[in-house]
Amino acid sequence: MTDFVQLWVYLSSTPLFGLTATLVVYVLAQAFYARMDQAPWANPVLWSVVTLAAGLTATGTAYPTYFSGAQFIHFLLGPAVVALAWPLWQRRIALRARWGRFLLASLIGGTAASGSAVGLAWALGLPVEIVLSLAPKSVTAPVAMGVAEKIGGIPALAAVFAVVTGMVGALSGKYLFDALRIDTDATGWMARGFALGTAAHGIGAARALQVNADDGAWAALALGLQVVLASLLIPLAARML
Amino acid sequence: MKALQGFAWLLVLQSAGEALARLLKLPFPGPVVGMVLLLVALRWSLVRDSVAAVAEFLLAHLSLLFVPVGVGVMTHLGLLGQYGLRMAVVIVLSTWVGLGVTALVLRALMRGDRPDAGLAAGERDAA
């Protein structure tokens, strides 16, 4: 027993542990998601986060110890944001024909998401650092962290808000769109995908991509536009208010 | 080798993006500038061919990349206990507002338009 404890103490303190745990838990969560016919509630990010956080808390492993290994996965968010140019470039013809309308929808949708978050948080009396960390919640986590830092929010909190927002979107989007009677024809998929990419960034886009290829394509486009608009306009709006 | 070249391009453009953002004091995070640079660089087949494979791999597993940050929620349990319910209300409602408004606005704007995936001929399979 003591040998086992010593071995655990050794292994859990190496970067190998955080990296292995993240990958193994995610692969299992992904398999479970596939087994459940990709039901929204079986979202792999949600269950990976819950399982890992519970496991770390139960074994008394500190988050920085875990992150020393998980940072290798986290690091890939940067190149992944750069790679978002690829789906945009693939859809350049659709973009060129409709860029004004996409830009307008992205602007209105992004403002609605961010504005309603800030307004509600303010009305509910949340502290100002939390209100500011909520502003960039509909952009992908690494960008949300950068924006939060610029406007005086807490970057780590902004990242968590962004991830939770993405999960809420991925979990409930389908039911909301059905309730709003958004069809599942070509225009409907465009509206659904674009909305998921705008309000629920990469996690929404990942969900959209699994449901329907076009749905995913529009989500990737929306998420790219939202990244550019939000990182330009949120700091500007914060400076003016 | 192609994938490795593609990954090198992503890192080079991200670095260039970081450098530009700092030098010119741009309001964008470095990777966003890198994304715009890549959008321009994709005109060249040298960049395009190598970036395609790696970009699709990275974006297909995008949700995995959010897990380490998500687990960080455990470090904010104090804040969560104090403000958790209110934060949850704000996040859920504002996400629904964002989703609903975007979907309805885009549908209204696209009325009468017959969209396809907007891909050039031959690219549909790759997507």
Classify residue A58 as exposed, middle or buried by CB count within 10 Å of its CB (0-12, 13-18, 19+): exposed
Q: For testing the chain A interface, which of B57, B59, B63, B92 should be mutated: the one with the most A CBs within 10 Å? A: B63
User: Shortest Cα distance from A8 to chain B (angstroms)?
Assistant: 20
Q: What is the ipTM of this complex?
A: 0.84
Residue B20 at interface with chain A, using a CB cutoff of 8 Å: no
Question: Burial of A190 by CB count in 10 Å (0-12 exposed, 13-18 middle, 19+ buried)?
Answer: buried
pLDDT of residue A235: 86
Q: In Å, how far is B37's CA from the nearest CA of chain A?
A: 8
Chain CA centroid to CA A105, Å: 20
The mean pLDDT of chain A is 88
CA distance A6 to chain B (A): 25
- pLDDT at B127 (0 to 100): 40
Name the closest residue on chain B to residue A57, using Cα atoms. Answer: B74
Contacts of A220 in chain B (CB under 8 A): 59
Which candidate from A53, A80, A147 shows the least CB-CB separation from B58?
Answer: A80
pLDDT for B124 equals 43
Mind telling me how many Å the CA of B23 is from chain A's nearest CA?
16
Residues whose CB is less than 8 angstroms from the CB of residue B70 and which lie 6 or more positions away in sequence, other chains included: A45, A48, A49, A160, A163, A164
| Domain boundaries, given as residue ranges, for chain B | 1-60, 68-115
Of A48, A67, A190, the CB nearest to B115: A190
Q: What is the pLDDT of residue A63?
A: 92
Residues of chain A contacting B68 with CB distance shorter than 8 Å? 18, 22, 66-67, 70-71, 73-74
From A3's Cα to the closest Cα of chain B, the distance in A is 29
pLDDT of residue A41: 85
User: Which regions of chain A are under pLDDT 70?
Assistant: 1
Residue B121 reports pLDDT greater than 50: no
CA pair distance A138, A199, nearest whole angstrom: 5
Contact B114, A186 (CB under 8 A): yes
pLDDT tens by residue, A105-157: 999 999 999 999 999 999 999 999 899 999 999 888 878 888 888 888 888 88
State residue A133's pLDDT score: 92
Contact yes or no for A168 and B91 at CB 8 A: yes
Predicted pLDDT of residue A141: 82
Cα separation, A165 vs A168, in Å, equals: 5
pLDDT of residue B122: 40
**Per-residue pLDDT band at B116 (split at 50, 70, 90):** low
- List the Cα angle A207/A209/A214 in 5-degree steps: 135
Q: Do B14 and A82 touch (CB under 8 A)?
A: yes
Q: pLDDT (tens digit, 9 = 90+) per residue, B49-106?
A: 999 989 989 988 888 988 998 898 888 878 878 888 999 999 999 999 999 999 999 9
Structure confidence at residue B115 as a pLDDT band (50, 70, 90): low
- Which chain B residue shows the shortest CA-CA distance from A174? B99
Residues of B in contact with A53 (CB under 8 A): 71, 73-74
